[in-house]
Structure 1
Amino acid sequence: MKLRPMVSALCIASIAMAGCASKVTQPDEYSGFLSDYSQLKEAKSPSGAEVMRWVDPNLDVSRYNAVYVEPTQFYPKPHATAKIPDSTLNGINLYFNQALKRELAKSLPLANAPGPGVIVVRAAITAAITAAITAVSSKTESLKPYEYIPVALVVAAVSTGAGIRDQQTTLGTEAQFLDGANGKVIAQVVRKGTGKSLSNDSQVMKADDVKGVIDGWASDLHQSFVKLKKR
Structure 2
Amino acid sequence: MSRFNGTLVGVIFSSLLLGACTSQVTEKEQYSGFLPDYSKLQEATSPSGHPVMRWIDPSFQPRTYSTVVFDSLLFYPAPKPDERVNRKTLQDLQQYASDSARETIALRYKVVPNRQSIPAGQRAMQMRAAITGVSASNEGMKWYEVVPIAAVVGATGAAAGYRDQNTELYIEAAINDAATGKPLAYVVRKVFGKTLENNKEEITADDFKQAIKEVNSDLSIMLNR
Fold equivalence (TM over 0.5)? yes
Aligned to 1:132: none
- Normalised by the length of structure 2, the TM-score is 0.84
For residues 78-157 of structure 1, the aligned pairs below 5 Å read 78-114=79-115, 115=118, 117-126=123-132, 135-157=133-155
**Aligned residue number for residue 75 of structure 2:** 74
Unmatched runs of 5 consecutive residues or more in structure 2: 1-5
The reply to whether residue 158 of structure 1 matches residue 159 of structure 2 is no
Q: Which runs of 5+ in 1 are unaligned?
A: 127-134
Distance 1:112 1:146 in 2: 51
Partners of 1:164 and 1:61 in 2: how far apart? Answer: 47
Partner residue in 2 for 1:202:
200
Q: CA deviation at 1:162?
A: 4.1
SS in 1 for 2:216: helix
* Residue pair 1:70, 1:120 contacting (<8 A) in 2 also: no
Question: TM-score of the superposition, structure 1-length normalised?
Answer: 0.82
Q: Which residue of 1 aligns with 2:11?
A: 4
Could you tell me how far 1:140 is from its partner in structure 2? 1.1
Which whole-Å deviations, capped at 9, do the CAs of 1:39-71 have from their partners, x for residues lacking one? 223333222322222222222434421112132
Aligned mates of 1:64, 1:177 — CA distance in 2: 12
In 2, Cα distance between equivalents of 1:82 and 1:10: 30
Distance (whole Å) between structure 1 residues aligned to residue 62 and residue 95 of structure 2: 28
Determine if contact 1:70/1:123 at 8 Å carries over to the other structure.
no
How many angstroms apart in 1 are the aligned matches of 2:63 and 2:198?
49
Deviations 1:130-177 (A, max 9, x none): xxxxx1110112222232333323322333344432211012211001
**Range that drifts further, 197-206 or 161-170:** 161-170
1:34 deviation in Å?
Answer: 0.8
* Alpha-carbon distance in structure 2 between the residues aligned to 1:44 and 1:176: 18
Contact 1:111 1:118 in 2 (8 A): no
Question: What is the root-mean-square deviation of aligned Cα atoms in Å?
Answer: 2.1
Is the alpha carbon distance of 1:81 and 1:117 closer, same or farther for their aligned partners in structure 2, counting shifts above 3 Å?
same
| Aligned 8 A contact 2:129 2:174 in 1 | yes
Matched residues, number: 213
Superposed counterparts of 1:15-94, under 5 Å = 17-18=21-22, 21=23, 23-94=24-95
SS at match of 2:110: coil
Change (3 A) 1:140 1:26: closer
Please tell me the residue identity of whatever aligns with 2:129: A
Question: For the residues of structure 2 that align with 1:212 and 1:157, how far apart are their CA atoms?
Answer: 30
Q: Secondary structure at the match of 1:190?
A: strand
Which residue identity is paired with 2:123?
Answer: G
Q: Mean Cα displacement is larger for which, 110-119 or 193-202?
A: 110-119
The one-letter amino acid paired with 2:222 is S
Q: 1:58 to 1:163 in 2, by over 3 A?
A: closer
- Paired residue secondary structure (1:205): coil
Aligned counterparts of 2:152 and 2:188: Cα–Cα separation in 1: 36
State the structure with more CA Rg.
2
Deviations 1:73-123 (A, max 9, x none): 222223211111111122111111111101111121211322452221101
